[in-house]
Structure 1
Amino acid sequence: MASVNASIFSHFQLFLTKCVVFFTSPISLLFFGICAFVLLIKLISWRRNKKQKPPEMQLPRMKKRDMTMDELKKFDGTGQDGRICIAVNGKIFDVTQGKEFYGAGGPYSVFAGRDASRALSIFSVSKSAIKDDYDDLSDLTSAEMNRILEWELQLTEKYDQIGKLLRPGQEPGDYTDSEEEISEERKDDKLKSQ
C-alpha cells in the first residue's frame, strides 16, 4: 500500500512540475498575456457601448391614414419623431421599428418615405429605380408583380399597415378607432400562431 501511495505522490509531483514549467515558460506567458489583454479590451468596449446607447423610445402606434406621395415623403426618418414609412403595392407600412434597415445608413434607406414597389420588383436599392411621382406599376411583368406581392406579404407580417398610397385626385379613406383595434387583434393573432 505504501508503494502505491508513493507512486501516486510521485506522479502528482511530476504533474505539478510539468504544469509549473508549462505555465511559466515565456511562450505560455506571452500567450496568456495576449488573451488577457484582448479579453480586457473587449470587456471595456462592451461596457462603453452599453453606456453610450440611449434607451430606445417606443413610438405610439401610428393612426391609420391614407397619404399622397408628398405626405409619404415626410416620413423618411428625418422628422422630429424619426418615423419611417414606405409604400409597397399601394399600401403604406410603418417600418420605424426596422430603422436599422430603412433608416439613415441602412441597406434600404433609399425606400424611406417613398414608394419602393418598382425598386423591389427589380431587386434594386438604387434611387434611380424609385419614381418621385405616383407609379401605377402597369408596365411591370407578372414576375415583377409577384416579387412585389412577396415583399408586401413580408411587410404585412412584420410591420403595421397604416393606410393606402393615394393616386392623384383620389380622396383618403376614413378610418375609425374600431378598425385599428381589429387590425391590432389580427396582428396579435398572427404573432401567436407563429
Structure 2
Amino acid sequence: MSTLLAFWGTWFPTLLTGFVLSLKVTAVCLALGLPLGLLLALGVRSAGAVVHWISLAVVEIGRGAPALILLQFAYFGLPSAGLTLSSFTAASLALAWTTGAYTSEIIRAGIEAVPHGQREAALAAGLNQADTLWYVILPQGLRVAFPALLGFSILMLQATSLCFTIALPEVVSQAYMVGSNTFHYMPIFLLAALMFAVVCIPATICVSWLERRLGRHAA
C-alpha cells in the first residue's frame, strides 16, 4: 500500500496538470455549446422552414456522429481543407458541437414542458411573442432543464478523456505517458479514475438533489 501511495505521490502533479486541462476543455465546450444548444432549440421550433431544417440538420449530425469522430474530423480532417487547429481548439469546438446538439433537445423538452396556458396568459396580458418567450417561457423551461443540463456537463467532463486521440495532454494522455514510462498502467489509470470520481460523484449527487428539490417545488 505504501508503495502505491508513493507512486501516486510521485506522479500526481503530472496527472493534475492534465486534469486541469480537461476541466478547461470542459469549461470552453460548455461556454460555447450551451448557448448554441439554446439557439438550436429555438431554431428547431421555428416556424421558418429554412431555419428549422438547418437547425435540425446541425442537431442530428451532432447527435448522430460519435464525439470521437467529431474530434478526429476537427483535428485531422480540417487541415486537408486548409484549416489547421490546435488540439485544444479542435477538442473544444468538437465537444461544443456535441454539447450544442444534445443540450438543444434537453432545452427544447424543457420549453415544451411549460404549460401552454402560460403563453396564452402572457399574450393576453399584452406581451408580444418575443417578450413572452424571453420573460415567461424561457425562465420556466430552463429551470426544468437545468438538472439535466448539469448532468450532461458531467458527461462532457468524462468525454474529454477521448481527447488523448488528438494529442491533447489531458489526464488520460498523461496517465498513458506515465504508464508507458513506468509500465505501471493499473495504478496510474486507477489514480486518473479517482480524480474523475472526486469531481463527478459529488456533482452527480448534486444533480439528484436538485431534481428532487425542483420536483417538490413544482408539485
TM (norm. structure 2) is 0.28
TM (norm. structure 1) is 0.31
Q: Which structure has the bigger radius of gyration?
A: 1
Structure with the higher strand share, 1 or 2? 1
Structure with the higher helix share, 1 or 2? 2
